[in-house]
Amino acid sequence: MAGARSAATRLTHSSLFLLSRAAAAAATRRTNLPSSPRDYSKMASSVGGNGYSDVTRVLFCGHYWPASTIYTKEYLQNYPFIQVDEVGLEHVPDVIQNYHICVVKNKCIDSDIIAKATKMKIIMQYGVGLEGVDINAATEQKIKVARIPGSTTGNAIACAEMAIYLTLGVLRKQKEMDTAVIQKDLGLPVGETIFGKTILILGFGAIGMEIAKRLRPFGVKILATKRNWSSNTVSCDLDGLVDKKSGPEDMYELAREADIVITCMTLNNESVGIVDHKFLSALKKGSYLINIARGRLLDYTAVFNHLESGHLGGLGIDVAWTEPFDPEDPILKFPNVIITPHVAGITEYSYRTMAK
């Protein structure tokens, strides 16, 4: 993945800004979505009602995370030479040849789809995760691949807040509290405090740093892993922020010290299933696991088995192994598991800033 990244054409923050101005596309009135791929194709290839023959067409993939499309359209409503369309995930391969910019969200853009994207100039993520894009295939087609750095939009801060929300939720036994309210009980359950805990942050990037900043006032010990701790990869002063740092090769040693693990690593071929039986077994009995990064970082079977045995004290996840996640999945039946619907980075501030 690192090689693919270096091979890809990169867009700097300033070039993205210039691009967004030049592309300031879209007669962005909200329109009724067609019901068939043929109708989508007609819509995408027609001039439309704006009277412009030279229109930049932007494709948002899928109807999940709807605020991304809504806010983008709002910012572009005075630019009638850009058209923003949102189509269902299953229709993307049928219409992508008509678009110049593709905002992928959770759509997998593989080499077959890229081969059809004959007009495409940019494949863009509304956020930071590009693991679903075949960057090498895009580069071969001279298509730029870009993301929006979380440190500049409020995304990293929003994710950090959600990590702490989930941490407190499992410590204070959110599900059991809900049950107590329904049963008109008082004084139950007896939760745990975060004070004095040792917390391991797996992946000390922009989100990891924001988590550490917010955890410090709770009176915790902070451990962290990062591939490269050189000064040019860390944008803050680590003194007083991280008590012990290391590379991924020492994650098992750090796991033995941790009461709580928060995963915010990048998903790639090396990190899929990295939180596995070996890692979970290294944790203290009763430790807690929080995941706000990608669901596939966690080995489902290992997590389930460690919850069932009681070795894992609780699980808080904003991302799942498949999305949307099955609400009837057995792992959600445990009283010490809480889940949120992939909203860690989604706040009014972060989403409007990303749209802009």
pLDDT of 223: 97
pLDDT of 45: 37
Give 318's DSSP letter.
Answer: S
- Is residue 282 within 8 A of residue 275, CB to CB? The reply is no
Model confidence at 24: pLDDT above 50: no
Asked whether residue 128 is assigned to any structural domain, the reply reads yes
Examine the domain organization and report whether 258 and 137 are in the same domain.
no
Examine the domain organization and report whether 143 and 194 are in the same domain.
no
pLDDT digits (tens, 9 = 90+) for 234-260: 666 677 899 999 998 999 999 999 999
Q: How far apart are CA 143 and CA 177, in angstroms?
A: 50
Q: Which of 289, 310, 339, 335 is nearest to 189 (CA)?
A: 335
Report how many domains make up the chain. Answer: 2
Tokens of 340: 């949120």
Examine the domain organization and report whether 88 and 168 are in the same domain.
no
pLDDT digits (tens, 9 = 90+) for 158-203: 999 999 999 999 999 999 999 999 999 999 999 999 999 999 999 9
Domain boundary among 96, 120, 148: 148
Examine the domain organization and report whether 179 and 114 are in the same domain.
no
Domain boundary among 104, 130, 148: 148
Model confidence at 44: pLDDT above 80: no
CB atoms within 10 A of CB 49: 10
Q: Which of 111, 116, 120 is nearest to 143 (CA)?
A: 120
Domain boundary among 148, 163, 195: 148
Cβ neighbours for 111, distance < 8 A, ≥ 6 positions apart: 134, 137
**Residue 107 pLDDT class (50, 70, 90 cuts):** very high
CATH number assigned to the domain comprising residue 329: 3.40.50.720
Q: How far apart are CA 109 and CA 91, in angstroms?
A: 12
Examine the domain organization and report whether 179 and 305 are in the same domain.
yes
Examine the domain organization and report whether 342 and 239 are in the same domain.
yes
**Residue 124 pLDDT class (50, 70, 90 cuts):** very high
Examine the domain organization and report whether 326 and 225 are in the same domain.
yes
Q: Which domain holds residue 331?
A: 155-352
pLDDT of 1: 41
Asked whether residue 21 is assigned to any structural domain, the reply reads no
Examine the domain organization and report whether 201 and 75 are in the same domain.
no
Examine the domain organization and report whether 128 and 180 are in the same domain.
no
Beta pairing class for 56-61 and 101-103? parallel
Q: What is the mean pLDDT of residues 64-77?
A: 96
* Least reliable range by pLDDT among 124-138, 170-184, 219-233, 307-321: 219-233
Asked whether residue 300 is assigned to any structural domain, the reply reads yes
